[in-house]
Amino acid sequence: MSIDLAGVSELLNQLAEQCVLLDPSDADGVSELVTALDELLACLEEAPATSDLRRAGSMLREGRHAEGLVALGRALDAARDEIDEGRLVSTAAAGREAAERAEPAPAAVEQVPEEDVVSPELLAIFASEADELVVEAERLLLALQDSPDSAAAGQLYRAFHTLKGSAGYLALDELGAFAHEVESLLSAREDGLRRSDLDLVFEAVDVLRGVVEQATRGRVPVLDAAAAPLRARVRAALQAEPEPEFELDEPTSEAARPGNGEAAARGAEAGVVKELVRVDAQELEEMVDLVGELVLAQAILSRCAQQDGVSPAVDQGLKSVGAILRELQTLSSRLRMVPIAGLFQRMRRLGRDLARTERKAFEVVVQGEETRLDKAIIDGLAEPMVHLLRNAVDHGLEASIEERRAAGKPDVGRIELCAFHRGGQIHVEVRDDGRGLDIAQIRRRAVASGLIDAQAEVGDSELLDFVFRYGFSTRDTVTTVSGRGVGLDVVRTAVEAMRGTVEVRSVRGKGTTFALRLPLTLAIIDGLVVRLGNERYVLPALSVVRSLRPRASEITHLAGGGRLLQLGDSTLPLLPLGRLFKVPGAVHDPTRALAVIVELEERDVGLLVDEVLGKQHVLVKSLGDELVRGPGITGGALLPDGHIGLTLDPGTLVRHFSAGEAGLQTAKQDDRVQGSLS
Amino acid sequence: MSKHTTSKYLAFHVAGEDYAVPILKVREITAGLKMNRVPGTAPYVTGIINYRGRIVPVVDLRLRFELPELEDDARACIVVCHCSRDERPYTAGLKVDLVTEVVNIADDEVEPVPSVEATELIEAITGIARVDKRTILLLDLDVVVSLELSARLAIAAATKAAAELEQDAEQAPPA
């Protein structure tokens, strides 16, 4: 008996119901469920949704009932969507049914569009392989740009050759022909690639990027219109008479080439082959999450063991499980750490393009490419880095060679990208050897915008910080690259969203450095857990200086409602978190509460809490961007006592609760007055 | 949207009324999970729970529908559902008085909502089903957790909170 569409749906519904109602410990119920699942699978076509169903089934068979039920629920929901859109149910089954009804066979089977000839799974594999090839090709091209290297040229040839093969496997004829043309060009130049050849291959890589993008989206890729003239030029280059190697348009100098030594060193390193495995990013994410949960579960167990008391053997066992888990957690978070090389390489490529469009001669040099960062941070850094690079090219570097010569600098400008670990943080710097920032002009602009008083004494570093303000630009004209005054504030916002900081250092006439500091990983923070009422909050432990019980004499109440705390020589704003967050049962009288003193970039601030519970490493989870919530609440940390501690960003809290700001202005004046008296 | 004649729903009580959501959207029914309040959220978001290692917000349906809060919530539970918000998958919990049963509802048993009461929250009901002499209101999960309604309510709540803070500040007792 063939199963029809309605029957499949009914089966789906039944399975879904069982999923929700079944108790994971009901072994019989689960095995019945698995049988029904197999029945369903028999009617479905092979697709990612079906594999998810199969995977859930395996989990159930292996005895992982709770997990399997959750996975099955999700997979059923996805399958339902597919079926509603007319997919998944085996056309063979539908065809059989139609035949039984003795109607003319529906065109269902023949109507399979061209696209379905390439299965989604093959396309996904092609997309990821092609992506790797594109990244590799560009890396090789950049290396070849610096100095000729026959090994690199050979690898480049092989990259296109492999691409040709992959394209052929999927019957992507046009793409294959394109790859063949480039491959031929590369193999024809046995005596070394010329600049013009490199340019062509760079353009080819751009076209291939578009192909990868299409394939990643699940579409069978086609070459876009830009490819045709490029292909013509490649073919022309292939037939052209061999030309003598010519010099680059831009003036070169000794400083221009990073030195063959560097390239050779890179080549030597390339000899060490690391065995790598490709892993599904989603699964890696799930694994890291599971490890986090395991650490939490062990912490809970430990606590119970301490409270209830257990035999020494159990206690020992728990301790060793804990030690192993901590190692596992370090390792698993490292797995998500990726070298910043990929990002730096993209920047070098951008630099190359900018040099052409802006008609400026400069090179982009990188250092510390192997520095590893959490993949999430690297993704978040891409946009800010682009802004900073464009900024360096447009504002930093001098407009002309004459200007540079007059300053005694080499003709070719130098932009450095560095990354390194220091003090438990990742440092990323973008340095240029250009004009440097004009502090006097920044000051003038700040006064003109009303940001500071004309007479006010403001330190250099504070003035420099103004460049990060939205709309602040000392340029009078806007260029296509930058100058609108909106680039640097975006950089700061993006970096701060990753719990990082960015500052700028500059020497007039010498150059400018933008220095970013980022946490090693977004997921785990060293937190100070505090209690307010029956709620838990987590502060960044690294910023906490101390905590104390304020005395009535140390507290000043301001007219606007804000409070200040006198601490030694300084006065800080005191934020009553219990009141601000309306926590039921929180202590309101500051003399009965604790003030946690937090150090921020610009100033210190005191946060009033009921009790400090302790320091611990916490795994921070997102609350979901969509959840509209109070200011300064960045995420949730699953705590061993079962609570979810809300992580707070003190900087945002201070900025938002303006009662604190008002109090601060007064405080600053007081400080200055006191300073002049002493 | 459904081409099929009968679908299964999970039915539950909220303030004396019967509601239901499609069973396929339900992940789990849970009770006894610790609720954590989040300051500044809309009043009907009672808090967040730790659901299998993920943080999931919980919407109190009574408050969402502007009904009085439940006094004795001994039998209340949270129906963890899979819906979408801004076209992205979203998991949320619904706090209900009592989960009653799984019920089969045929498409032809569903009637459209009469446009008598013109409240915004009517958008959350996709239809009314009559089963065994009971009236069951079918909920649109996406609307229940929707940003639109939330944004409006959130702005109202934020304005109110800011005004209250100013009032408090003015009334702050001297040191």
pLDDT in tens, A362-403: 999 999 988 888 877 888 898 899 989 998 998 888 888 898
Q: How far is CA A508 from the centre of its chain?
A: 33
Residue A164 has pLDDT above 70, yes or no: yes
Residue B161 has pLDDT above 80, yes or no: no
A21·B102 Cβ contact <8 A: yes
A105: buried, middle or exposed (CB in 10 Å: 19+, 13-18, 0-12)?
exposed
What is the rounded CA–CA span in Å between residue B101 and residue A608? 48
Q: Which of A320, A267, A233, A64 is nearest to A155 (CA)?
A: A267
Least confident of A36-40, A67-71, A271-275, A342-346: A271-275
Q: Tell me how far CA of residue A69 lies from CA of A47, A55, A294, B28, in angstroms.
A: 20, 11, 20, 10
Tell me how far the alpha carbon of residue A250 is from its chain's centroid.
Answer: 35
| A195 interfaces chain B, CB cutoff of 8 Å | no
Name which of B4, B25, B40 is nearest A630 (Cβ-Cβ): B40
Q: Are B87 and B147 in contact (CB under 8 A)?
A: no
A579/B1 CB distance under 8 A: no
Cα gap B71→A589, rounded to integer Å:
31
d(CA A663, CA A556): 10
Distance in angstroms (rounded) separating the CA atoms of residues A67 and A65 = 5
Distance between terminal CA atoms of chain B?
Answer: 64
Q: What is the pLDDT, as a whole number, of residue A109? A: 41
What is the token pair recorded at A506?
């500059």
Q: Do A643 and B39 touch (CB under 8 A)?
A: no
Provide, as residue numbers in chain B, all residues whose Cβ is less than 8 Å from the Cβ of A660.
none
- The torsion region of residue A566 among left (phi > 0), alpha (psi -120 to 50) and beta comes to beta
Question: pLDDT value at position A294?
Answer: 84
Contact at CB, A76 and B151, closer than 8 angstroms: no
Chain A hits for B42, CB-CB cut-off 8 Å, are 628
How many other CB atoms are there within 10 angstroms of residue A647's CB atom? 23
Q: How far apart, in whole angstroms, are the C-alpha atoms of residue A89 and residue A44?
A: 5
Q: Pick the more confident residue, A670 or A338.
A: A338
Q: How confident is the model at residue A539 (pLDDT cuts 50, 70, 90)?
A: very high
CA atoms within 13 A of residue A603's CA, in its CB half-sphere: 22
Rg of chain B on CA atoms, in Å: 18
Q: What is the mean pLDDT of residues B147-171?
A: 62
Q: Are B105 and B136 within 8 A, CB to CB?
A: yes
- The encoded tokens of residue B30 equal 């849970």
b/e code B95-127 from CB counts within 10 Å (16+ = b): bbbebbebbebeeeebeeeeeeeeeeeeebbbb
Those residues whose C-beta lies under 8 Å from the C-beta of residue A282, and which sit 6 or more positions away, are none
CA–CA distances in Å: residue A87 to residues A46, A117, B50, B100? 10, 15, 35, 34
Binding-face residues of B in 112-141 toward A, CB within 8 A = none
Look at residue A106 in the predicted model and tell me its pLDDT.
41
Give me the pLDDT at residue A297, please.
81
User: How much is the pLDDT for B158?
Assistant: 62
Smallest Cβ–Cβ distance between A561 and the set B54, B57, B172 belongs to: B172
Task: Quickly count: other Cβ atoms within 10 Å of residue A385's Cβ.
Answer: 23
**SS3 at position B105:** strand
Residue B92 CA to residue B21 CA, distance in Å, equals 13
Check CB contact under 8 Å for B151 and A628: yes
A20-34, A159-173, B26-40: segment of lowest average pLDDT: A20-34
Q: Is A300 on the interface with B (CB under 8 A)?
A: no
Span A524-538, average pLDDT: 91
Confidence grade of residue B81 (pLDDT, cut at 50, 70, 90):
very high
Q: Which is more confidently placed, A264 or A126?
A: A126
Taking only the tens place, the pLDDT of each residue in A623-660 is: 766 677 777 888 888 887 778 999 998 877 887 775 43
A275/chain B closest Cα distance in angstroms: 32
**A99: number of Cβ within 10 Å:** 13
Give the side-chain half-sphere CA count within 13 A for A439.
Answer: 16
Q: Cβ separation of B23 and A630 shorter than 8 Å?
A: no
Burial class (CB in 10 A: 0-12, 13-18, 19+), A160: buried
Lowest mean pLDDT among A26-40, A203-217, A328-342, A658-672: A658-672
The token duo for A340 is: 């910043």
Cβ contacts (< 8 Å) between A638 and chain B: which residues? 50, 53, 55
Residues of A in contact with B161 (CB under 8 A): 582
* Nearest-CB residue to A622 (from B1, B29, B55): B55
How would residue A55 be classed by pLDDT, with cut points 50, 70 and 90? confident
Reply yes or no on whether the pLDDT at A272 is more than 90. Answer: no
Instruction: Please tell me the predicted confidence (pLDDT) of residue A98.
Output: 44
> Comparing A304 with A622, which gets the higher pLDDT?
A304
Which carries the bigger pLDDT value, residue A324 or residue B173? Answer: A324
Confidence category of residue A431, pLDDT binned at 50, 70, 90: very high
pLDDT of B159: 62
Q: Do B28 and A16 touch (CB under 8 A)?
A: no
User: Residue A616 — φ and ψ, nearest 5°?
Assistant: -160, 160
Q: What amino acid is encoded at A240 in this protein?
A: A
The closest CB to that of A642, out of B34, B57, B154, belongs to B34
In 3D, which of A78, A513, A536 has the Cα closest to residue B48? A536
Any idea what the Cα angle at residue A69 is, between residues A63 and A71, rounded to 5°? 105
Alpha-carbon span B155 to A39, nearest angstrom: 51
- The label of the residue with tokens 């192997």 reads A370
**Residue B32 in contact with partner chain A when CB distance is under 8 A:** no
The number of beta carbons lying within 10 Å of the beta carbon of residue A570 is 14
**Tokens, residue A510:** 């010498």
Check A556 against B175: CB less than 8 A apart. yes
Nearest to B50 among A12, A80, A638 (CB): A638
Record the pTM: 0.53
HSE (side-chain half, CA atoms, 13 Å) at A30: 21
Instruction: Output the pLDDT for position A567.
Output: 86
* pLDDT at residue B70 is higher than 50: yes
Of B8, B37, B82, the CB nearest to A13: B8
- Strands in A533-610 per DSSP E: 535-540, 544-548, 555-557, 563-567, 570-576, 594-599, 604-609
Q: Residue A321 is encoded by which pair of tokens? A: 């499980």
Measured between alpha carbons, how far is A219 from A115 in angstroms, rounded to an integer? 8
Tell me the nearest-neighbour CA distance from A13 into chain B, angstroms: 6
Judged against a pLDDT cut of 70, whether residue A148 lies above it is answered with yes
B23 to A17: CB separation less than 8 angstroms, yes or no: yes
Of A77, A552, A624, the CB nearest to B25: A77
Q: Looking at A431-435, A551-555, A649-653, B25-29, which range is the least confident one?
A: A649-653
What distance in Å separates the CA atoms of residue B16 and residue B62, rounded to the nearest whole number? 10
Give the model confidence (pLDDT) of A468-489 as tens digits: 876 666 554 444 445 544 578 8
Contacts of A536 in chain B (CB under 8 A): 36
Q: What are phi and psi of A399, to 5 degrees?
A: -75, -20
Residue that the structure tokens 């973008």 belong to: A430
Mean pLDDT of A523-547: 89
Q: Would the CA dihedral through A179, A181, A182, A185 be positive or negative?
A: positive
Asked if B53 and A629 come within 8 Å (Cβ–Cβ), the reply is no
CB contacts < 8 A, A to B, total 136
Residue B22 has pLDDT above 80, yes or no: yes
In angstroms, the CA A387 to CA A395 distance is 11
| A265-271 average pLDDT score | 44
B41 touches chain A (CB under 8 A): yes
Spatial distance between the Cα atoms of A613 and A530, rounded to a whole number of angstroms: 5
- Helix ranges, A364-499 (H): 375-391, 401-406, 439-448, 460-465, 487-497
State whether B102 and A633 contact (CB < 8 Å). Answer: no
Instruction: Answer positive or negative: Cα dihedral of A562, A567, A569, A570.
Output: negative
Amino acid A668: pLDDT: 40
Q: What percent of chain A has pLDDT over 70?
A: 81
Contact A594, A612 (CB under 8 A): yes
Contact between B19 and B11 under an 8 Å Cβ cutoff? The reply is yes
Beta strands in chain B (DSSP E): 6-14, 17-22, 26-30, 45-51, 54-60, 77-85, 88-96, 98-106, 110-111, 125-131, 134-139
Q: For A228-252, what is the mean pLDDT? A: 63
Taking only Cα atoms into account, the Rg of chain A, rounded to an integer number of angstroms, comes to 31
Rounded to an integer, what distance in angstroms lies between the CA atom of residue A454 and that of residue A465? 17
pLDDT, position B92: 92
pLDDT on residue A102: 42
- Chain B CA closest to residue A634: B38
pLDDT of residue B103 exceeding 80: yes
Which residues does A337 contact at the CB level (< 8 Å), separation at least 6? A372, A373, A374, A375, A521
- Enumerate residues 6+ apart whose C-beta is below 8 A from A324: none
Q: What is the pLDDT of residue B175?
A: 43
Interface test with A, best of B30, B55, B149, B152 (most A CBs within 10 A): B55
Given an 8 Å threshold on Cβ–Cβ distance, is A13 in contact with B50? no
pLDDT (mean) for A278-283: 77
List, as ranges, residues 464-503 from A with C-beta within 8 Å of B: none
Tell me the pLDDT of chain A averaged across its residues: 78
A-interface mutation test, from B5, B23, B164, most A Cβ less than 10 A away: B23
Check residue A267 and give its pLDDT: 41
In 3D space, the residue among A219, A157, A158 whose CA is nearest the CA of residue A185 turns out to be A157
Give the range among A76-85, A398-407, B147-156 with minimum mean pLDDT.
B147-156
CB-based contact (8 Å) between A641 and chain B?
no
Of B24, B55, B172, the CB nearest to A557: B172
Q: Which of A23, A300, A582, A627 to mutate to test the interface with B (most CBs of B within 10 A)?
A: A627
Report yes or no: A87 at the B interface, CB cutoff 8 Å. no
Give the rounded distance of the alpha carbon of A148 from its chain centre.
Answer: 34
Answer whether B2 touches A (CB < 8 Å): yes
pLDDT in tens, A22-43: 777 778 888 888 888 888 888 7
Q: Return the structure tokens found at A594.
A: 């604790």
Query: Both tokens of residue A316?
Result: 């020992």
Q: Which amino acid is at B85?
A: R
Query: Is the pLDDT reported for residue A257 higher than 60?
Result: no
pLDDT of A242 reads 54
Measured between beta carbons, which residues in chain A are less than 8 angstroms from residue B26?
16, 20, 73
Per-residue pLDDT for A421 more than 90?
no
Q: Please tell me if residue B167 touches chain A, with a CB cutoff of 8 Å.
A: no
Contact A403, A509 (CB under 8 A): no
Asked if B10's CB is within 8 angstroms of A642's CB, the reply is: no
CB contact under 8 A, A621 and B55: yes
**Amino acid letter for position A412:** V
Tokens read off for A71: 């996975």
Cα B54 from Cα A442, distance rounded (Å): 47
